[in-house]
């Protein structure tokens, strides 16, 4: 069974590529620097077609009109530009900020500016859940793509920005974050809303239909198949975390084994120290080493002293965030 699968990322670049290939012309505007308060973070993207269509956002509304006007000129000239805008206190307040700030935006036409093949490469990487970076020298306007080893810290932190030389801008396009929750229990009911709020696409797996039901998890992506079957189909990668909550070996162990054989960034397992000790023995019997098993966070979650399902969910989400951002 399956419920709603939320969109995993915005399609601004995909739309820009479609406009360009349809002969409309397209411009990609990207926030490259901010000072003080700013409505949108560095790396935010707005696409504008030669017909004035737009998708995405670089300011929450307060400078979009000016950027669109510049973009329409850029479609004609084919010359990239760097724009700087001061966001007034009044404009900042209108989009929900306490005070004004300044943002710098690069405006680059697809084709004469960003080569079509570079945009297509980024779009293909996103569809394949491959991390990729767009690198542009805003002095010479030389452009290329890059992979995680070159900018490991930026990829880990999802941090776009200028390098120390002040001219090379790195725009990070990481795959969307995913969370696999094995066990449609009370903790999962509290954990999933937090996962959505933190930008994850969650999947709940539980072969017990009474647990993995639409009534208990309305609108969520659910599966009542066995975890190893689902994970073999869906795949696991370095932008995925796995949380097992049944502490039933028949259900949890197949998911744990699949996770340990992948490069998921987090694996957390519910259960007492005694339960985990038995789990460790079973995993060693499957050929896993102490180093492999040390990847497991058990008992799951930060030690906040929580007892209720909601408190355990808070501790789990906090630990996942800590591992993602701090390594």
- How does pLDDT run across 235-281, given as a tens digit for each residue? 999 899 999 999 899 999 999 999 999 999 999 999 989 999 999 99
207 in a domain, yes or no?
A: yes
Instruction: Look at residue 165 in the predicted model and tell me its pLDDT.
Output: 85
Are both 290 and 189 inside the same structural domain?
yes
Give the residue from 29, 43, 54 showing the smallest Cα distance to 109: 29
Are both 132 and 250 inside the same structural domain?
no
99 in a domain, yes or no?
A: yes
3 in a domain, yes or no?
A: no
The pTM (predicted TM-score) of the whole model is 0.76
282 in a domain, yes or no?
A: yes
Domain boundary among 173, 203, 232: 173
Are both 151 and 199 inside the same structural domain?
no
Instruction: Look at residue 166 in the predicted model and tell me its pLDDT.
Output: 84
7 in a domain, yes or no?
A: no
Are both 20 and 62 inside the same structural domain?
yes
Residue ranges in the chain modelled with pLDDT below 70 = 1-9, 36-39, 60-62, 87-100
248 in a domain, yes or no?
A: yes
Instruction: Look at residue 175 in the predicted model and tell me its pLDDT.
Output: 87
Domain boundary among 114, 148, 173: 173
1 in a domain, yes or no?
A: no
Domain boundary among 145, 173, 201: 173
Domains held by the chain: number: 2
226: CATH: 3.40.50.720
Instruction: Look at residue 87 in the predicted model and tell me its pLDDT.
Output: 67
Q: What range defines the domain where residue 26 resides?
A: 12-173
Per residue in 223-246, is it b (16+ CB within 10 Å) or e — as a string? bbebbeebbeeeebeebbbbbbbb
Are both 50 and 159 inside the same structural domain?
yes
114 in a domain, yes or no?
A: yes
Are both 95 and 64 inside the same structural domain?
yes
């Amino acid at each position: 069974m399956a419920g709603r699968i939320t969109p995993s990322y915005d399609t601004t670049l995909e739309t820009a590529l479609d406009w360009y290939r349809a002969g409309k012309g397209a411009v990609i505007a990207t926030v490259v620097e901010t000072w003080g308060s700013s409505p949108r973070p560095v790396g935010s993207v707005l696409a504008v077609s030669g017909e004035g269509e737009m998708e995405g956002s670089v300011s929450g509304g307060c400078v979009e009109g000016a950027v669109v006007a510049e973009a329409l000129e850029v479609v004609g000239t084919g010359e990239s530009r760097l724009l700087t805008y001061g966001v007034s206190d009044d404009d900042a307040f209108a989009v929900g900020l306490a005070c004004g700030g300044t943002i710098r935006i690069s405006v680059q036409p697809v084709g004469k500016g960003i080569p079509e093949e570079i945009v297509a490469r980024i779009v293909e990487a996103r569809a394949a859940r491959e991390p990729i970076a767009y690198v542009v020298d805003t002095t010479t306007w030389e452009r290329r793509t890059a992979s995680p080893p070159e900018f490991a810290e930026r990829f880990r932190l999802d941090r776009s920005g200028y390098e120390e030389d002040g001219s090379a801008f790195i725009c990070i396009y990481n795959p969307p974050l995913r969370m696999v929750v094995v066990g449609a229990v009370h903790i999962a009911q509290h954990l999933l809303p937090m996962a959505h709020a933190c930008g994850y696409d969650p999947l709940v797996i539980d072969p017990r239909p009474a647990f993995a039901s639409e009534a208990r998890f309305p609108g969520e992506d659910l599966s009542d198949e066995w975890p190893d079957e689902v994970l073999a189909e869906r795949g696991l990668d370095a932008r995925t975390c796995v949380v097992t909550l049944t502490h039933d070996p028949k259900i949890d162990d197949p998911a744990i084994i699949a996770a340990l054989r992948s490069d998921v960034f987090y694996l957390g397992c519910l259960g007492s120290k005694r339960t985990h000790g038995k789990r460790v023995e079973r995993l060693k019997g499957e050929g896993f080493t102490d180093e492999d098993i040390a990847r497991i966070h058990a008992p799951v979650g930060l030690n906040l002293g929580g007892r209720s399902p909601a408190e355990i969910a808070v501790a789990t989400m906090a630990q996942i965030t800590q591992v993602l951002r701090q390594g």
